[in-house]
Amino acid sequence: MKQKAGREMRRLVVAISVGTLLLVLAVIAYFMVDVILTTNKNIDRNKELVVEQSVFTLTEIGDNINGMTGDTRMIGLFNRDLMDQILAGNWDVFYDFIGDFAISFYPIEYIGVIRNGELAASRSARGFDVSAGNIPDLPASGSYKTLTKLGDKEGFFVSVLYPIKLSVVGLEDFGVNMIVDRTAQMAFVEDYFKQQRDDLIVRLSIASAIAIIISLLFTTIGLRHFTRKYVVKPIEDINRAAEEIMAGTYDGEVQVEEDSAFAALQGLLRSGQKVLQRLDQEMRE
């Protein structure tokens, strides 16, 4: 016959179930927060790598332009008349050539030639309208900055101001401001890691639900079963043995299990059994 659990047992099960559930939820929350923070760090770090690689690329382009402009014979390979105009001191033609050459042969969206802090010439890639009224802010010479807008387009752009040193050959120094569009790369980085984060959270949520169900089953059915088996039943056996001893119907001698938590009760019960046996024997004599 199935026996109804007592009030104390129900309270014990509820207390342990709630404690276990809170512990499981705390562990789940920790891992979810860790996943989110790790994802954000990965996004930030990979965005930094995109910027660093862009700066490196633009710097290499600047090195190439510097090497080309330092030797007018290189320009003569493209256009002899152009070289003659440059040698005659027509710097506007020179700056226009730099802009046309860079925008045609390098993967950049904008180039501006900066002379004495002023824009001397500029070129932009197809699809970008950079007019005199919306010239991008310049970074410090030899440095870079990120922009959120280029011309009439918003996004993520990396801008580098590369100094061209021609004073060593008797010409005037100037700078080239080169800008590259990294909007798509930044969006890819963010989408990639956010997708990974969302997938991890979904899998973690499923595993968490399973863990919660298992913990609740263990702390209700399992705890009740083992508590009854190892705590309640031994107490009931001792109580039944005591009743049978008092009624004189107990068969045999009470056994004391030395390694049991109920050894003291078993010993007390056996002592009582022996006392009753002596009294019963004396009464018969």
Q: What is the pLDDT of residues 103-113, one digit of tens each?
A: 988 999 999 99
Q: Strand 118-124 and strand 144-150: pairing?
A: unpaired
Q: How far apart are CA 267 and CA 269, in angstroms?
A: 5
Task: Give the H/E segment covering residue 218.
Answer: none
Q: What is the mean pLDDT of residues 118-134?
A: 81
Q: What is the pLDDT of residues 50-86, one digit of tens each?
A: 999 999 999 999 988 887 766 555 555 556 676 677 6
Residue 150 half-sphere exposure toward CB, CA atoms < 13 A: 27
Q: What percent of the chain has pLDDT over 70?
A: 74
| Paired tokens of 199 | 């997938």
The answer, yes or no, to whether residue 255 has pLDDT greater than 50, is yes
Of the pLDDT bands very low, low, confident and very high (cuts 50, 70, 90), residue 1 is very low
- pLDDT at res. 8: 67
Of the pLDDT bands very low, low, confident and very high (cuts 50, 70, 90), residue 194 is very high
Burial group, residue 211, by CB count within 10 angstroms (0-12, 13-18, 19+): middle
- pLDDT at res. 225: 75
13-51 as b/e: b if 16+ CB within 10 A: beebbeebeeebeeebeeebeebeeebeeebeebbeebb
Q: Could you give the C-alpha distances from 85 to 74, 93, 111, 161, 221, in angstroms and in order?
A: 14, 7, 22, 26, 94
Of the pLDDT bands very low, low, confident and very high (cuts 50, 70, 90), residue 10 is confident
- pLDDT at res. 248: 66
Helices then strands, each counted (H, E), the chain: 8, 5
Q: How far apart are CA 81 and CA 13, in angstroms?
A: 95
Higher pLDDT, 13 or 95: 95
